[in-house]
Amino acid sequence: MTNLVITTLYEHEDFVVINKPIDVAMHDAQNGIISVYSKQRPQCKWFLVHRLDTQTSGCLILAKSSDSAATIARLFAKRSIEKYYLALSNKTPKKKQGLIRGDMKKARSGSYMLTKTSQNPAITQFFSKSVGNGIRGFICKPHSGKTHQIRVALKSIGASILGDMRYGASPSDRMYLHSYGLCFSYKGESLNIFCLPDIGEYFSEAIWPEQWLKPNALSWPKLKLQTVQE
């Protein structure tokens, strides 16, 4: 962990977007993402504004002050930041694209499950396509920020993320979920930040559909206002 170098994808006077490595936790005081990045950039005090699972890689915002952290956190709370994820599965989904929606409740040992109710639902849109070698790729757009949301969503359609053994997937060299992009406006500036995964044998071999590389330009079906606001 001491030799880990974290790539800075974008830098603003108020925050950075980094490429979070796999197996780095959010809240570990010794080896968590703030601790590791602070050793690399000790001139600034860093603040978390959102989170990724320990096994998930990709785009993560770190704020440079408590004020900017609060501002960005409000953007997430208002769903003004579009998030896009890439995932791989070696299983065939029940449907190849669409909307996965339902409440999430705690199951055993820190896992979650999707229910048929919609009191405070997790909402995820996705497209999927073969990316070679018997592997199916997914581009996912979550409209909420629930713990394990995409992992549970893909499990619910029979396509657990490769390497996500918590949710019944085949073992692999990593969990194949990556935070690919963040699109939002900040202080009048429109930001579209993307980062392809660079760790994992199956990610390196995946042939992504070209249109997925700019997911904010994809033809995502519009959600009903009521669905988004719930």
**Which amino acids are annotated catalytic?**
53
Tokens of 192: 């579209």
Q: How far is CA 193 from the centre of its chain?
A: 13
From its phi and psi, is residue 79 left (phi > 0), alpha (psi between -120 and 50) or beta? left
Looking at the DSSP assignment, which residues form a beta bridge with residue 123?
101
Quote the DSSP letter at residue 124: E
Please give the C-alpha separations between residue 21 and each of 25, 45, 146, in angstroms, as whole numbers. 9, 20, 21
- Within 8 A by CB and 6+ apart from 91, the residues are 136, 158, 159, 160, 169
CA atoms within 13 A on the CB side of 190: 1
The CA distance from 162 to 167, in Å, is: 10
Q: Which string of b and e fits 115-146 if b means at least 16 CB within 10 Å?
A: eeeeeebbbbbbbbeebeeebbbbbbbbbbeb
Quote the DSSP letter at residue 113: E
Tokens of 56: 């998930």
